[in-house]
Amino acid sequence: MTVRVRFAPSPTGYLHIGGARTAMYNQLFAKAMGGKYILRIEDTDTERSERKYEESQIEDLKWLGITHDEGPDVGGEYGPYRQSERLHIYKTWAEKLIDKGHAYHCFCSEEELTAKKELAEKEKRAPHYDGKCRNLTVEEVTSKLASGEEAVVRFHAQRKAYVFNDYVRGRVVFPEGMVGDFVIMRANGIPVYNYAVVVDDASMKITHVIRAEEHLPNTLRQLMLYEAFSETPPEFAHVSLLIGEDRQKLSKRHGATSVTLYKEMNYLPNALLNYLCLLGWSHPNELDVFNPLELGTLFNLDRFTKAAAIYDVKKLDFINGQHIKALPIETILTEVEKTIPSTHQFHKMDHEWKIACVTIFKDQINFFQDFASHLDVLFTTEVSTSADYLEAKSWETTPKIREYLEGEINIAIVAGKKFVTVEDYNIWSEHVKGELKIKGKQLFMGMRSVLTHQAHGPELKFIIPLTPIEILEKRIHL
């Protein structure tokens, strides 16, 4: 059996991060099993569906690196891949159901149905369709249709329990009588969601349906339809809900929910995928940072977690930082350069200096655009007003360090140096320790306060050799 899976978004908005997660799981599973991953556009909600959303969703999926084997833009043997182009298929399949006695034309008006529903609710009965049109004769139906009466197609639901095994939720039982006869085709020829999904999944030979937990209740109607078509249902995996920290369903209230926004905020696609992958699934080697697209056969359907996954932007940001760190240094440089203001001195420095600078600060950023703020420690002549700095400045040892370093910096300037070296810095600190007999906190914070005008910051031996000598000179005289 060739595994065939699908992602079936409705083009009614931008790609949601939950949708991206579903698409990724499907693609990873297809890859792991040597199968095919299909993109199907579920655009039967004609009022809300728009082509621009389909296009932007496909673009965002591509940005993430999720590419489909079959779909509306690339074709395939089982097309068309847009539901709006499959109306003839839904009609033919509905006729099959009618012929087999599993569905029938229903001529009841909306008003009649609403009145019956209200009555049922009042009498505390399940508001199921009462079956009025179920037993119309072929002649009655033909003559009503011929006289132009509008009809929906309604499915004749069996009164029995339905059971299936879900990869995530285990054994799921739908007790008898949960649904009555339901509509599968509207009078205007547009199929109802549960019906279209079954026709599509069956005719596209889908073997596994991996989708969000909110679709679990739909599985009942879908199982009924598979049975009526004498088709084997696919295997199901209903992946856990995404929720905010307040345990409510993830929505715009919790922050950005569309992939487009993450792209604009400069997240790395692999980092976003990595984070989404961990929301409801765990790596077999317990890894937190990895590229999902390289999981290969490590991805399987047995490692999903049932519990709802809490969306935590801080963790996502951390993972983004981890992915930045792992990039080649030249790539990080190219990316951070784009985010540093064009007038910044950084751009005037030579390549070697820039690489050294990126090497030091790359571990401290979660985003490329965070980089510029770390450069202050190399270029600013501002003086900290923090209590720790003022304390370090007030020690009686600190002016001695300042006096010594002033002499050293002047020697370096006279020698024509643009920067001091790590060796110079080591000699300075040895001198302060050995000759001036200043040790511990007084040594390290004292040197830092004199050389940077700050009380805390990255290791001096890394930043002092990158600080232009004229900046060190200015600081020492302030």
4 contributes a contact to ligand GLU by CB under 6 A? no
Q: How far is the CB of 42 from ligand GLU (least distance, A)?
A: 4
Peptide bond connecting 80 to the previous residue in cis, omega within 30 degrees of 0: yes
Find residue 236's DSSP bridge partners: 166, 209
194 contributes a contact to ligand GLU by CB under 6 A? no
8 or 333, CB closer to ligand GLU?
A: 8
Which of 52, 252, 338, 348 is catalytic? The answer is: 252
Site size toward ligand GLU, by CB under 6 A: 7
Residues 163 to 182 in contact with ligand GLU, rule: CB under 6 A? none
Contacts of residue 374, Cβ cutoff 8 Å, sequence gap at least 6: 361, 364, 365, 458
Give the pair of three-digit tokens for residue 94: 């509905």
Nearest by Cα to 316 from 17, 63, 62? 17
CA distance 446 to 440: 9
CA distance 349 to 346: 6
211 contributes a contact to ligand GLU by CB under 6 A? yes
Question: Which segments of 294-421 does DSSP mark as H helices, in order?
Answer: 313-325, 329-339, 351-361, 371-374, 376-379, 387-394, 398-414
Burial class (CB in 10 A: 0-12, 13-18, 19+), 323: buried
Give the pair of three-digit tokens for residue 45: 């909600």
42 or 181, CB closer to ligand GLU?
A: 42
Q: How far is the CB of 86 from ligand GLU (least distance, A)?
A: 14
218 or 380, CB closer to ligand GLU?
A: 218
Among 4, 5, 8, 259, binds ligand GLU (CB under 6 A): 8
Q: How many helices (H) and strands (E) does the chain have?
A: 20, 11
Only one of the segments 7-15, 390-398, 399-407, 412-420 lies at the binding site for ligand GLU (rule: CB under 6 A); that segment is 7-15
Only one of the segments 8-16, 167-175, 236-244, 247-255 lies at the binding site for ligand GLU (rule: CB under 6 A); that segment is 8-16
Q: How far is the CB of 51 from ligand GLU (least distance, A)?
A: 16
Only one of the segments 2-10, 163-171, 322-330, 398-406 lies at the binding site for ligand GLU (rule: CB under 6 A); that segment is 2-10
CA distance 328 to 189: 55
Q: How far is the CB of 285 from ligand GLU (least distance, A)?
A: 30
CA distance 170 to 273: 26
How close are the terminal C-alpha atoms of the chain, in Å? 76
Among 4, 5, 10, 202, binds ligand GLU (CB under 6 A): 10
Helix 17-33 with 51-64: angle, nearest 10 deg: 60
Contacts of residue 132, Cβ cutoff 8 Å, sequence gap at least 6: 106, 108
Residues 24 to 43 in contact with ligand GLU, rule: CB under 6 A? 42
Nearest by Cα to 219 from 242, 204, 231, 237? 237
Query: Is 437 an active-site residue?
Result: no
Q: How far is the CB of 98 from ligand GLU (least distance, A)?
A: 24
44 or 467, CB closer to ligand GLU?
A: 44
184 or 319, CB closer to ligand GLU?
A: 184
10 or 429, CB closer to ligand GLU?
A: 10
83 or 274, CB closer to ligand GLU?
A: 83
Q: How far is the CB of 237 from ligand GLU (least distance, A)?
A: 11
215 contributes a contact to ligand GLU by CB under 6 A? yes
Among 5, 9, 276, 311, binds ligand GLU (CB under 6 A): 9
Query: Phi and psi for 173 in degrees, rounded to 5?
Result: -115, 125
72 contributes a contact to ligand GLU by CB under 6 A? no
309 or 336, CB closer to ligand GLU?
A: 309
CA distance 168 to 180: 27
- Torsion (CA) 57, 59, 63, 64 in degrees, nearest 10: 30
Q: How far is the CB of 222 from ligand GLU (least distance, A)?
A: 8
Q: How far is the CB of 8 from ligand GLU (least distance, A)?
A: 4
Q: List residues with catalytic annotation.
A: 252
Q: Point out which residues bind ligand GLU (CB under 6 A).
A: 8-10, 42, 197, 211, 215
